[in-house]
Amino acid sequence: MKIVSFASIAVAVLVIISTVIVLMFPNPLLSKYVKPRIITAFSTAFPNYSLRIANIRYDVVQNRFDIDTVIVSTINGYTVGRISSFSVDGIRLDKMLWKGTIDADAFKSVTIEANEINHSFPGGEYHFRCGRMTVSVPDSEIVLESLHIQPNGDDEQFFARKTFRQTRYRVSVPYGKIEGCSVLQLLLGNKFIIGTIRIHRPFFDILVNKDKNDKKQTSPYQMPNEILGSVTEQVNVGIVRITKMGLKYGERFAIRSKPAVITFDSLNATIEGIANHSNGASAVMIRAEGSFMKAGAMTIRISILKSLSEFSLSYSGTLGRMNVRALNGFLETAERVRVSGDIQSAKFDVNVVSGYARGSVKVIYNDLSLSFINKHSGSDKGVMNLISSFIANTFKIRADNLPDKKGNIKIGVVNYSRTSDDPFFRFAWFALRSGVKDVAGF
């Protein structure tokens, strides 16, 4: 009994001393024992990459880990990811130590904050940067601030990398929030079940270099229904709410030249029904309203059928009073024409079944005319330009489309079939354009 008593006292003293050492000097122990194990585990899981961690600190009172400068590199030394600093608090270390394994219960109260996240996408063409990310498991939410996705280098460097035509994207999101989500499943990539996504003042900048030829597509572009269906993980998003969105689309026709630009401003949009592997809504619904070319109020409604067997959707919208001169910023560069006239109102309704678009375009307008312009000078005074403009305005263009005494107007017919090299937005625009051309007589 004396031996057992002395042994028990010795063990108790040893536990107390060990606990005091850990509480008083946690950081040296973390740097010496924990950090190497994290790096080794990472290298085992991802043999083509290496991990570097500057410092790990633990605050006993607040139960928080602070980690400085995490860098992920390829085996040849190319940095693909970097986090300046991040902290983790709320981990139930007692549960981890008691069970001896990593358990989900240990992370129920975890909050993570990461600052200055930088990541290069595979191929090195694009770069991702986020000023701050906050993840809260108990609140079931993720907040992103100052998020940017852009190419590495300027536009000329981006387009020079490839022989064929490319589309360049730039995305800026000052603030985004994901609510009502299973954070652990979302971070692990097992399930993407989300209640609400809120995005405030995003800006999308899209530019196509049409000075190069298109690369021949060996396989058709995937449509939204095919992309959603190809995701093996469960996806279910209740609603996406976007406020004050800006969209800029441009086409460049010569190196370092000014692009033709179309803009949408102050768009407020909602997206519902984003789901797969579920018995939810059979279509993805998109509703948006905003300003077109800062000249006319517009509304859009899109319903995309989620069937994998066919590409089918419907989309409709309206455009308010607008002076068509607002389009000259795009038309003068892209089409070498200049237009004038006034749109009183416009409405379109298009239905797509298995890639075949049919529908109608109703536009009430007056005093429509166009002038062909010189490619280099931008002038419409040349002889050939004047002749072409005269023929178009006299024999082809419908100058007015105003209601007659019975209220009837010319209705444009939408008739367009998707080709294999039509991406989604180009198909939707070409289908709508066929109806606009039918109305105006182009």
For residue 192, the tally of other CB atoms under 10 A from its CB is: 19
Residue with tokens 């509304």: 299
d(CA 261, CA 214): 20
What residues does 360 pair with on adjacent strands?
349, 413
In this structure, which amino acid lies at residue 406?
K
Rounded to 5°, the CA angle 119-37-55 comes to 60
Cβ(115)–Cβ(144) below 8 Å: no
The Cα-based distances of 122 to 71, 81, 126, 127, 168 in angstroms read: 16, 11, 8, 9, 16
d(CA 279, CA 181): 19
In this structure, which amino acid lies at residue 429?
W
Please report which helix (H) or strand (E) contains residue 58, including its range: strand 49-59
Cβ(363)–Cβ(346) below 8 Å: yes
Radius of gyration of the chain (CA): 30
Nearest-CA neighbor of 259 among 189, 168, 320? 168
Rounded to 5°, the CA angle 132-79-166 comes to 85
**What distance lies between CA 58 and its chain's CA centroid?**
36
pLDDT in tens, the chain (442 residues): 444 444 443 444 444 444 444 445 456 666 766 778 778 877 887 788 888 888 888 887 788 888 888 888 887 778 888 999 988 888 776 555 454 445 566 678 889 899 999 988 877 789 999 999 999 988 999 999 999 999 988 899 999 888 888 889 999 999 999 999 888 777 666 678 899 999 999 999 999 898 888 776 666 678 887 788 777 788 889 999 999 999 999 989 888 888 999 999 999 999 998 888 655 458 899 999 999 999 999 999 999 988 767 788 999 999 999 999 998 888 888 878 888 899 999 999 999 998 899 999 999 999 888 887 766 555 555 434 444 444 444 446 788 999 988 888 999 999 999 887 778 888 888 899 899 889 987 7
What is the predicted pLDDT for the residue at 200?
97
In this structure, which amino acid lies at residue 171?
V
In this structure, which amino acid lies at residue 298?
M
d(CA 314, CA 283): 10
d(CA 222, CA 211): 25
Q: Percent helix, strand and coil across the chain, each rounded to 5? A: 25, 45, 30
In this structure, which amino acid lies at residue 184?
L
For residue 127, the tally of other CB atoms under 10 A from its CB is: 15
Cβ(352)–Cβ(303) below 8 Å: no
What is the predicted pLDDT for the residue at 30?
66
283-292 and 313-319 beta bridge pairing: unpaired
Hey, what are 100's tokens? 């001896």
Please report which helix (H) or strand (E) contains residue 37, including its range: helix 35-45
Hey, what are 123's tokens? 């191929």
Where do runs of H (alpha helix) occur along 129-283?
Answer: 155-160, 183-188, 224-230
Nearest-CA neighbor of 123 among 80, 153, 172, 83? 80
